Structure 1
Amino acid sequence: MASEQTTLTVPGPHGEREMRISSPSRVMWPELGLTKLDLAKYMVDVGEAFIAANGDRPVALQRYSDTIDGEQFFSKNPPRGTPEFVRSVKVVFPSARSHPMLVLDEPAAAVWAVQMNTVVFHPWPSRAGNTDNPEQLRIDLDPQPGTDFD
Structure 2
Amino acid sequence: MASSSKDAVVLQVDGHEVRVSSPEKPYFPERGIRKIDVVEYFIAVGEGILSALRDRPTTLERWPGGVFEGARISTRVDNSGDAFYQKRVPKNAPDWVPTAHITFPSGRTADEIAPDSVAVVAWCANLGTLTFHPWPVGKEDVESPNQIRIDLDPQPGTDFSDAVRVAPHVRELLHEFGMEGWPKTSGGRGVHVYVPILPRWTFTDVRRAVIAFGRELERRLPDQVTMSWWKEERGEKIFIDYNQMARDRTIASAYSIRPRPHAPVSAPVDWDELPDVQPTDFDVLTMPARFAAVGDKHAGLADHAFRIEPLLELFEKQETDEGLGDLPYPPDYPKMPGEPMRVQPSRARRPAGADD
TM-score when normalising by structure 1: 0.85
Distance 1:24 1:41 in 2: 11
1:129 matched to 2:128? The reply is: no
Residue number in structure 2 paired with 1:8: 11
Between the aligned residues of both structures, percent identity stands at 34
2:338 aligned residue: none
2:9 touches 2:20 (CA, 8 Å); kept in 1?
Answer: yes
Aligned to 2:100: 89
Deviation, structure 1 residue 140? 5.6
Higher RCO by CA contacts (8 Å cutoff, separation 6 or greater)? 1
Work out whether 1:106 is the aligned partner of 2:125. Answer: no
- CA shift in 2, pair 1:141/1:35, >3 Å: farther
| Residues 21, 115 of structure 1: 8 Å contact kept | yes
1:45 paired residue number: 44
Q: Secondary structure at the residue paired with 2:38? A: helix
Instruction: Specify the alignment match of 2:21 in structure 1.
Output: 22
Q: Name segments (4+ residues, structure 1) moved above 6 Å.
A: 141-144
Is the CA contact (8 Å cut-off) linking 2:28 and 2:34 kept in structure 1?
Answer: yes
CA change 1:142–1:72 in 2 (3 A) is farther
What does 1:71-82 align with in structure 2 at a 5 Å threshold? 71-82=82-93
SS at 2:45 equivalent = helix
Q: Structure 1 residues 121 and 98 mapped into 2: Cα distance closer, same or farther (>3 Å)?
A: same
Shift in CA distance, 94/111, structure 1 to aligned 2, threshold 3 Å: same
- Which has a greater percent of strand? 1
2:301 paired residue number: none
Could you tell me how far 1:93 is from its partner in structure 2? 2.0
Q: Secondary structure at the match of 2:89?
A: coil
| Partner SS, residue 89 of structure 1 | strand
1:10-64 Cα offsets, whole Å, 9 max, x none, are 13xxxx2221100000111111010110011111111122111211100000001
For 2:108 and 2:7, how far apart are their aligned partners in 1?
40
Q: Classify 1:37/1:140 alpha carbon distance in 2 versus 1 (closer, same or farther; 3 Å).
A: farther
Conserved? CA contact 1:3–1:22, under 8 Å: no
The TM-score with structure 2 as length reference comes to 0.38
Please list the CA deviations of residues 98-132 of structure 1 after superposition, one character each: whole Å capped at 9, or x if unmatched. Answer: 11111111000000000101111000011111111
Distance 1:122 1:33 in 2: 25
Q: Name the SS of the counterpart of 1:41 in structure 2.
A: helix
The structure with the largest helix share of the pair is 2
- 1:138 maps to what in 2? 149
Deviations 1:85-108 (A, max 9, x none): 111111112322111111111000
User: CA 1:7/1:101 → structure 2, altered by over 3 Å: closer, same or farther?
Assistant: same
Give CA-to-partner distance per residue, 1:62-90, whole Å, 9 cap, x none: 00131223211001111111011111111
CA contact (8 A) 1:7 1:20 kept: yes
Letter in 2 for 1:120: T
Aligned residues of 1:77 and 1:100 also touching (Cα < 8 A)? yes
2:85 and 2:137 mapped to 1: Cα distance? 19
| Structure 2, gaps ≥5 residues long | 72-81, 160-187, 190-277, 279-356
Find the structure with the greater CA-based Rg. 2
Q: Provide the C-alpha distance between the structure 2 equivalents of 1:23 and 1:140, rounded to a whole number of angstroms.
A: 36
Query: Contact 2:64 / 2:127 at 8 angstroms: preserved in 1?
Result: no
User: Which shows bigger deviation, 88-97 or 107-116?
Assistant: 88-97
